[in-house]
Amino acid sequence: GAGVSQSPSNKVTEKGKDVELRCDPISGHTALYWYRQSLGQGLEFLIYFQGNSAPDKSGLPSDRFSAERTGGSVSTLTIQRTQQEDSAVYLCASSFEVVEDSNTEAFFGQGTRLTVV
């Protein structure tokens, strides 16, 4: 697509429920990132996918968080047993393959605003 697409735009869920957030990257982009922005805060790295390489999950805050990327394109971020502190905007970004001297400009989707009540 023309830009990074995320769905849903907003999600309100009850504490303890599982949620799935979807990201559709820019066509041709092999790198995909998830970030989290809590209220009034900067962006926190969560996870990174690059082609068929093993993802970098070092930013995931707990084992309730997981993500997958099917077919090197669409990615799903899953949060199990949601807690109120999970409330935030979850942002997805994509870029061309990260190699030396390449243009790795990242483009972000509009985000999913998650509210856990």
Partner 1 sequence: GIQVEQSPPDLILQEGANSTLRCNFSDSVNNLQWFHQNPWGQLINLFYIPSGTKQNGRLSATTVATERYSLLYISSSQTTDSGVYFCAVEWDDYKLSFGAGTTVTVRA
79 phi and psi, to 5 degrees? -120, 120
Contacts (Cβ under 8 Å, ≥6 apart) of 9: 110, 111, 112, 113
Nearer to partner 1, 35 or 65 (CB): 35
Q: Which of 21, 111, 114, 116 binds partner 1 (CB under 8 A)?
A: 111
Residue 106 within binding range of partner 1, rule CB under 8 A: yes
**Shortest distance, position 42 Cβ to partner 1, whole Å:** 5
Residue 110 within binding range of partner 1, rule CB under 8 A: yes
Residue 115 within binding range of partner 1, rule CB under 8 A: no
Contacts (Cβ under 8 Å, ≥6 apart) of 19: 11, 13, 78, 79, 82, 114
Please check whether residue 4 is in contact with residue 25, taking contact to mean a CB–CB distance below 8 angstroms. yes
**Shortest distance, position 23 Cβ to partner 1, whole Å:** 14
- Please report where in the chains the tokens 């082609």 appear, as a residue: 51
Q: Which of 5, 43, 57, 73 binds partner 1 (CB under 8 A)?
A: 43
Of 83, 80, 85, 77, the residue nearest 112 (C-alpha)? 77
Binding site for partner 1 (CB under 8 A): 31, 33, 35, 37, 41-43, 45, 48, 50, 56, 89, 91, 93, 98, 103-108, 110-111, 113
